[in-house]
Chain A
Amino acid sequence: MKKDKLRNGKVLFSDYSLGEGVRKALTLSRDDILFEVKDSKLKGRGGAGFPVSTKWMLGAAAIAERKYIICNADEGEPGTFKDRVLLVEYPELVFEGMIIAGYAIGAKYGIVYLRGEYEYIRKSLEDYLNLMRNENLLGKNILGKEGFDFDIKIHLGSSAYVCGEETALIESLEGNRGEARNRPPYPVNTGFMGMPTSVNNVETLSCIPHIILKGGDWYRNLGTDKSTGTKLFSVSGDCERPDVYEWEWGITINEILEKVGAKNTKAVQVGGASGICVPKSQFDRKISYEDIPTGGSIIIFDENRDMLKVLKNFMEFFVEESCGQCTPCRIGNVKLLEGVKMIENEQYTFAYLDKLKDLAKTMQIASKCGLGQSSPNSFISILENFKNEIFYHENGVENGK
């Protein structure tokens, strides 16, 4: 399929034609694929950064009557829209990644858990799946490979943020309330319907066909030592060219700001609402697992923004989006938001704010799932990095309002 080239990138946004990855993968053994992925050192792109090969090898080793590959397309992190670009413009990468994962792990069933708001993409994805079925990229004995059956269905979520967490996603798929499960056991062992399940992000899966085609070594040479390959960035906020970009890991914030035409930037929120807020003094830091890891959301704030409002917005988000099952996340976020409002109304004491920061640290380690564990990040980082602005109303080049 030939299409107009909109984007440029070294991996995901490079040239690719339908079926290439699967065709190559089916000439390899399952172990070869697993080791190729291991060589690439690819990590999960949803944000947590779990090594893909480890997850897949556990999945491949599991013995069960059925296994599932789930593509996590519940892209809900504020400021993230890269998966949408992949699903709209590069569906072949996503689906082929799932097929290859199915082949490597021994799964016959693929499910795309699509964010509720992306319902409008569903039709085009279904059409694309039909096209792939016609080409025998899906279905029985794929591309003539005897005994390899795989098919994909699309499941629409209901737009709960927590359902991006893999176990909550599985709960939701099973028709239950979206709530994170206790782990262990992990989904790769006891997942969808109690069967071994590999849940991977859209972007992670999209990398797979390229890694299979060009090799793990090639991929590993991109990026940094611990953060290999490239990353999609959803850049939004105060800049001239907000968009989705593919850059190598290790890029500094300064470089990003220059590429997207951001001026007078005061702060950059890396990793969405659950990420951290980086002040100007730290713009030379690198985006990588070694320094600032991210799922790809870059929100740029220029000097006109009020950081307290930014923080309040994030905290309101978590108060609403916590699934409500565990205490630290459900009530903790309410308390943090109350703290923000106290600052807003100038009715705070530093002693109480210190108590809240302490509470935030408890939330980071005692919450049941990643949502609660990461929800205090912006509270901690914004209050720390912008204290001059927030508490002393300093109007300066560095932190001024």
Chain B
Amino acid sequence: MENKKNGRAPISQKPHRIEKPEHPEYIGGSVKIQINEKEVTVPLGTTILEACKQNNVHIPTLCHHEDLCIAGVCRVCVVEIENARTLQASCAFPITAPIKIKTATPKVRKARKHIIDLLLSEHYGECYSCFRNNNCELQSLAKEYGVDHYNFGHIEKPRYKIDNSSYSVVRDMDKCILCKRCVRTCIDLQEVGVLEAIGRGDATHIGTFFDKQLSDVICINCGQCINRCPTGALRANDPRDEIWKAIDDPNKHVIIQTAPSPRAAIGEEFGLEAGHSMTGELNTALRRIGFDKVFDTNFTADLTIMEEGTELILRLYNALVNGVDANKVPQFTSCSPGWVKYLEHFYPEYIDNLSTAKSPQQMFGAVIKTFYAQEAKINPADIVTVAVMPCSAKKFECNRPEMVDSGFKDVDFGLTTRELAQMIKETGIFLPELPKSSFDDPFGEASGAGVIFGATGGVMEAALRTVIELVTGKKVENLFENANITPLRGFEGIRYVELNIEEVGEVPEMYKKYFSNWEWLKGATLKVAVAHGTANAKKVMEDIKAGGKFSECHFIEFMGCPGGCIGGGGQPIPTNAEIRAKRAEAIYKEDEGMPIRKSHENPHISYIYEKFLPEGPCGHKSHKLLHTTYTKRGEYIA
């Protein structure tokens, strides 16, 4: 973790890491220590936990999480250091001296057991009635340390009310063990700052501002806290029961759309290693569960690119040529509902910069209940649309009051990857063994551009593939090998890319009503940026506020979650950088294997514009159905 200077986190919850030397091999750069009497050399500033991990010495942890800053509060990872009066938390102890560490002395073993016993004594509920059963770090620790009865008793009555006020995140504080991972996620990783410990001593609990319910505070619904909670204290608001009800109702036509990220991650729920894309198997599973149609969200991702790309071109034309609405550049992407709510709360003055294009999920809902209903001759009132998303904020998004442009609730339910895996298991299906099948028509075909929406930088890459070709009239492959715009990829928090538009081509038919040539873009430098995780978004926004280099950008992709959608709050637990990288790999692999890699080349996209949206992208009808408005929320209203 980098040491952030402008974060909201108190220093106590930030890593007090001693900077590791650049050249640990130089004199003074390393220190010789003993771990369980074995001598090893580690770079100065390595924590005991890291040193032990490197040397295959297992130390149990609970409050520690690779993505987060150090807390050192659960004390499960204590070790003994020779000549030290007390045990030390190995996650929080930077090595600067030649210490001798023992990781399994009687004192250490007893302390760990005591700590687990204490945590269990205040952990309300039973494992078999918990959604984290078999995927709970407290449960595994209890198993690891052979807990067979409650040494210090067990709490018999709940102490807190479950807070299910939010569409996205449900908080059950009776299961909370106060590891503060959610707090550190919220204030440091995401820099939103909704959660903090309240009260003292026995009364300590994690809460929001004045203990308000989650729907009444500035939570952006990113769900990153859920992904990092070691127990069942945090989960997404689960719509499974209602979806089952719809499936079981013969009068309902239940349609499911699947986003690329859940497909790249759902295998993990079935014991596979991260990085296996299960698109085909999932289609089969969804049909077996009983969904009437299985559509690919990537189709509307392509549609999003058309709308958002056109919007970008029009904004640039307005600003550069007509000199109006210059404040609407840079254009910000709007497909991440976590990011959108973050902006609405923290930077409401920049609301005009947000692309008005809906997210692919919401576009799909609107298209299904209008175009599809019309084509398939089904009463839209009988259609139930479900969206499988890697995201908890999508649940909030589909419940936004303005998302009813089809005349109905565009998307009825947002379902997370985890919840879908649960539905598949309930049906008695072992996903990895299923035969593959494809999506249903008429939205069966999508481009690789839609697939990569799942990874940070993907939306930008997809948009550029289209914008470059539309403007220059040349193939992206001439500029970037295999149409892989690699400078936009990777996991660096903020990425910035400049593209020179040296030549321009013919203006495509659909834009001729706006302008007759591209001369106004000739010789221009297109400046784009990518930021993922709201902490990075904050940095970019502050830079824009201060008139820095990002204020000169034309288009910026923001994703609410670290890693983009593949790291979303609805994805399988656990998460870490390695897992996210593997999921991203799976996504880029799927893209490379697609016959169509660019949104504007998707024949179904041409078809829908021809048949249903004859005015083309950003036309009147698409404005009504595919675009939306935002709310200036500010910091004090939900």
CB-CB under 8 A for A359 and B70, given A171-B10, A325-B180: no
Give the complex CA separation of A362 and B203 in angstroms: 22
Q: Is A396 an interface residue (CB 8 A)?
A: no
Tell me the dominant secondary structure on chain A's binding face: helix
Q: Are B10's CB and A362's CB within 8 A?
A: no
Q: Are B107's CB and A365's CB within 8 A?
A: yes
Interface 1/0 per residue, B96-137 and A, CB below 8 Å: 100000000001001100110011011000000000000000
Q: Are B12's CB and A181's CB within 8 A?
A: yes
Tell me the dominant secondary structure on chain B's binding face: loop
Give the complex CA separation of A320 and B203 in angstroms: 8
Q: Is A194 an interface residue (CB 8 A)?
A: yes
Interface 1/0 per residue, A144-188 and B, CB below 8 Å: 000000000000000010100001000100101101111011000
On chain B, the residues within 8 Å of A321 by CB distance are 200-201
* Distance to closest chain A CB from B158 (angstroms): 17
Closest to A370 in B: B86
In the complex, which of the residues A160, A167, A327, A333 has the most CB atoms of chain B within 10 Å of its own CB atom? A327
Indicate which residue in A160, A324, A362 contacts B111 across the interface (CB closer than 8 Å): A362
Q: Is A24 an interface residue (CB 8 A)?
A: no
Q: How large is the interface on B (under 10, 10 to 19, 20 to 34, 35 or more residues)?
A: 35 or more
Interface 1/0 per residue, A246-266 and B, CB below 8 Å: 000000000000000000000
Q: Is A297 an interface residue (CB 8 A)?
A: no
Which listed segment binds A: B87-95, B344-352, B377-385?
A: B87-95
Q: Are A331's CB and B119's CB within 8 A?
A: yes
* Distance to closest chain B CB from A17 (angstroms): 41
* Distance to closest chain A CB from B111 (angstroms): 4
On chain B, the residues within 8 Å of A368 by CB distance are 72-73, 75, 89
In the complex, which of the residues A180, A331, A364 has the most CB atoms of chain B within 10 Å of its own CB atom? A331
* Distance to closest chain A CB from B148 (angstroms): 15
* Distance to closest chain A CB from B525 (angstroms): 40
Give the complex CA separation of A181 and B153 in angstroms: 30
Closest to B5 in A: A194
Q: Are B12's CB and A179's CB within 8 A?
A: yes
Q: Is A373 an interface residue (CB 8 A)?
A: yes
Closest to A321 in B: B201
Give the complex CA separation of A243 and B268 in angstroms: 68
Give the complex CA separation of A376 and B196 in angstroms: 28
Q: Is A323 an interface residue (CB 8 A)?
A: yes
On chain A, the residues within 8 Å of B203 by CB distance are 320, 324
Question: Which residues 315-350 in A have Cβ within 8 Å of B in the complex?
Answer: 318-328, 330-335, 338
Give the complex CA separation of A324 and B198 in angstroms: 9
Q: Is A227 an interface residue (CB 8 A)?
A: no
Q: Are A335's CB and B111's CB within 8 A?
A: no
Q: Are B202's CB and A334's CB within 8 A?
A: yes
* Distance to closest chain B CB from A244 (angstroms): 29
Give the complex CA separation of A280 and B110 in angstroms: 34
Q: Are A365's CB and B87's CB within 8 A?
A: yes
On chain A, the residues within 8 Å of B75 by CB distance are 326-328, 366-368
Q: Are B118's CB and A177's CB within 8 A?
A: no
Q: Are B114's CB and A326's CB within 8 A?
A: no
Give the complex CA separation of A176 and B187 in angstroms: 13
CB-CB under 8 A for A324 and B18, given A174-B11, A176-B10, A362-B114: no
Indicate which residue in A184, A330, A366 contacts B87 across the interface (CB closer than 8 Å): A366
Closest to B122 in A: A331
Q: Are A330's CB and B201's CB within 8 A?
A: yes
Q: Is B276 an interface residue (CB 8 A)?
A: no
Give the complex CA separation of A330 and B197 in angstroms: 13
Give the complex CA separation of A325 and B73 in angstroms: 6
On chain A, the residues within 8 Å of B85 by CB distance are 365
Question: Which residues 154-199 in B have Cβ within 8 Å of A in the complex?
Answer: 177-178, 180, 196-197, 199
On chain B, the residues within 8 Å of A358 by CB distance are 110, 114
On chain B, the residues within 8 Å of A324 by CB distance are 178, 197, 199-204
* Distance to closest chain A CB from B551 (angstroms): 30
Question: Which residues 314-357 in B have Cβ within 8 Å of A in the complex?
Answer: none
Closest to B114 in A: A362
Give the complex CA separation of A265 and B85 in angstroms: 33
Q: Are B201's CB and A327's CB within 8 A?
A: no
Q: Is B78 an interface residue (CB 8 A)?
A: yes
On chain A, the residues within 8 Å of B76 by CB distance are 327
Question: Which residues 104-152 in A have Cβ within 8 Å of B in the complex?
Answer: none
Q: Is B152 an interface residue (CB 8 A)?
A: yes
CB-CB under 8 A for A327 and B200, given A176-B10, A182-B72: no
Q: Is A10 an interface residue (CB 8 A)?
A: no
Give the complex CA separation of A229 and B430 in angstroms: 76
Give the complex CA separation of A365 and B109 in angstroms: 12
Q: Is A377 an interface residue (CB 8 A)?
A: no
Give the complex CA separation of A215 and B19 in angstroms: 41
On chain B, the residues within 8 Å of A338 by CB distance are 153
* Distance to closest chain B CB from A187 (angstroms): 11
CB-CB under 8 A for A160 and B121, given A330-B178, A365-B85, A365-B86: no
On chain A, the residues within 8 Å of B118 by CB distance are 327-328, 331-332, 335, 359
Indicate which residue in A194, A325, A366 contacts B178 across the interface (CB closer than 8 Å): A325
Closest to B199 in A: A324
CB-CB under 8 A for A182 and B200, given A326-B75, A328-B75, A331-B122: no
Indicate which residue in B115, B151, B196 contacts A177 across the interface (CB closer than 8 Å): B196
Q: Are B152's CB and A335's CB within 8 A?
A: yes
On chain B, the residues within 8 Å of A330 by CB distance are 178, 201-202, 204
Q: Is B16 an interface residue (CB 8 A)?
A: yes
* Distance to closest chain B CB from A285 (angstroms): 21
Q: Is A54 an interface residue (CB 8 A)?
A: no
Give the complex CA separation of A323 and B92 in angstroms: 18
Q: Is B44 an interface residue (CB 8 A)?
A: no
Closest to A322 in B: B201
Q: Is B282 an interface residue (CB 8 A)?
A: no
Q: Is B553 an interface residue (CB 8 A)?
A: no
Give the complex CA separation of A324 and B206 in angstroms: 11
* Distance to closest chain A CB from B348 (angstroms): 26
Give the complex CA separation of A282 and B326 in angstroms: 84
Q: Are B201's CB and A182's CB within 8 A?
A: no
Q: Are B200's CB and A160's CB within 8 A?
A: yes
Q: Is B33 an interface residue (CB 8 A)?
A: no
On chain A, the residues within 8 Å of B119 by CB distance are 327, 331
Q: Are A320's CB and B202's CB within 8 A?
A: yes
Give the complex CA separation of A162 and B199 in angstroms: 13
Indicate which residue in B11, B70, B86, B199 contacts A366 across the interface (CB closer than 8 Å): B86
Indicate which residue in A171, A328, A333 contacts B201 across the interface (CB closer than 8 Å): A333
Extra contacts besides A324-B201, A366-B75 (7): CB < 8 Å: A176-B11, A179-B12, A326-B73, A328-B115, A334-B202, A335-B118, A365-B111
Question: Which B residues are within 8 Å of any A CB, using their own CB?
Answer: 10-12, 16, 18, 70-76, 78, 85-87, 89, 92-94, 96, 107, 110-111, 114-115, 118-119, 121-122, 151-153, 177-178, 180, 196-197, 199-204
Question: Which A residues are within 8 Å of any B CB, using their own CB?
Answer: 160, 162, 167, 171, 174, 176-177, 179-182, 184-185, 190, 194, 318-328, 330-335, 338, 355, 358-359, 362, 364-368, 373
Q: List 5 A-B contacts (CB under 8 A).
A: A182-B70, A182-B89, A326-B74, A338-B153, A368-B75
User: Top 9 A-B pairs ranked by shortest CB distance?
Assistant: A324-B204, A176-B10, A182-B92, A331-B118, A322-B201, A366-B111, A362-B114, A182-B72, A325-B73
